[in-house]
Structure 1
Amino acid sequence: MQAPDPSSSAPPPASPDSAARFGRGFAWIAWLLVLGLIYLFFDGVLTQQRNPNQQLRQEQGAAGERVVVLDANRQGHYVGTLQLNGQPVEFLLDTGATAVAVSEAVAERTGMPRGAPYQSSTANGVITVHRSRIAELRLGTIVLYDLEASIVPNLAGAEILLGMSALNHLEFSKQQQQLRLLQR
């Protein structure tokens, strides 16, 4: 009997061409991974610049009042995240809005009732909106109940405009790029 030839059972050596293809494929994967990480980093930076109040800063006043401090974003607007009927929602503080204006998507997601339609004058002209109520709105430690609201079709920008129906329950003062909201 002859001994088996060890060279016949070994796999053929990799050709230089297949090793180069493997190297190029690995380089593409590495570049895609690096680009993905860069995207995630800058997406987080841009989100933080647009909404610097994702985590609201809260303070306790000397007489027990609740205070929330908002920082202005790069455009000078006060954008943040609050809880509307237990759901996190991004807001834009708008002292020119009579009521809290809520997008249709947020109203549906947070279970807000859709009431009677009425005409409202906005910066973009007269539109039809629907009356509604917000059961509970939480801005950090500040809690407001049973607020007047409007469900607005095609609300652009932030998911809600935090208008005067909520702000009338608070005191607020501005100092440099910060707005302090106070609930007694």
Structure 2
Amino acid sequence: MLRNLILLGAVAGIFASIPAIYQRNPQAFDGMLRRVLTEEAPQTQHAAASVKHAPGRAETLLGRKVRIPSDGRGHYSAEFKLNGRTIHAMVDTGATFVAINESTARRIGLKLSQSDFRHRVDTANGTTAAAAGTIGNLQIGRIFVEEVQAVVLKDEALSGTLVGMSFLSRLSRFEMENGALLLEQ
């Protein structure tokens, strides 16, 4: 009976320490988990190896990391969540802010009036009117950032969504690696 109690205490202690170990060194934990998963039975390994990540889709990694593969033109685009709404967006390190159009702003719950479009911004397509706004939360995978500064442009000035430095600068790192963009919080 005492032996079972000691064993139970040891198992509980190990399970209780997992979150602390992960928080201190997520890379070591990631490596340890990958080693354990690759030591599975051969049929499980084969099944896992045959599943490939679809090109053009973000891949969530262990921890708060996401890998976005580049498309044929070398751009990095993926599905992000802005205020809980799924929006396809392109990462643009040359953009100071997250840039969205009026339609997207309405879709994610930003309330703007025409008088809010009082700022002039230079874009790749020329100078246009813009409104300043704040996105309550922006998420990709397990990366979650609150209160992200954004600019809202007229629909005719911007057809898509650009994720700029107002989001990227809030991450612990972002870098290009093996044809993909790695984001880490």
Corresponding residue for residue 65 of structure 2: 67
Structure 1 segments of 4+ aligned residues over 4 angstroms from their partners:
none
Indicate if the aligned counterparts of 2:128 and 2:157 stay in contact, CA closer than 8 A: no
Indicate if the aligned counterparts of 1:102 and 1:155 stay in contact, CA closer than 8 A: no
Query: Which one has the bigger helix percentage?
Result: 2
Corresponding residue for residue 110 of structure 2: 112
1:173 and 2:175 correspond: yes
1:95 and 2:113 correspond: no
Identity %: 30
Inter-partner Cα distance in structure 2 for 1:155 and 1:68: 29
Indicate if the aligned counterparts of 2:125 and 2:157 stay in contact, CA closer than 8 A: no
Residue 161 of structure 2 aligns with an amino acid whose one-letter code is: I
Corresponding residue for residue 133 of structure 2: 132
What is the CA distance between 1:117 and its match in structure 2? 2.2
Corresponding residue for residue 31 of structure 2: none
Corresponding residue for residue 124 of structure 2: 123
User: 1:40-74: per-residue Cα shift (whole Å, max 9, x none)?
Assistant: xxxxxxxx76xx12xx31112xxxx5100000011
Give 3-state SS (helix, strand or coil) of 1:88's partner. strand
What is the CA distance between 1:116 and its match in structure 2? 5.4
What is the CA distance between 1:148 and its match in structure 2? 0.5
Q: Which has the larger radius of gyration?
A: 1
Q: Which runs of 5+ in 1 are unaligned?
A: 1-47
Change (3 A) 1:156 1:120: closer
What is the CA distance between 1:155 and its match in structure 2? 4.2
Inter-partner Cα distance in structure 1 for 2:147 and 2:89: 18
Q: TM-score, normalised by structure 2?
A: 0.64
Inter-partner Cα distance in structure 2 for 1:117 and 1:137: 25
What is the CA distance between 1:136 and its match in structure 2? 0.7
Residue 179 of structure 1 aligns with an amino acid whose one-letter code is: L
Give 3-state SS (helix, strand or coil) of 1:74's partner. coil
Give 2:77's match in structure 1, choosing from 55, 71, 79. 79
Residue 142 of structure 1 aligns with an amino acid whose one-letter code is: I
Q: Which runs of 5+ in 2 are unaligned?
A: 1-53
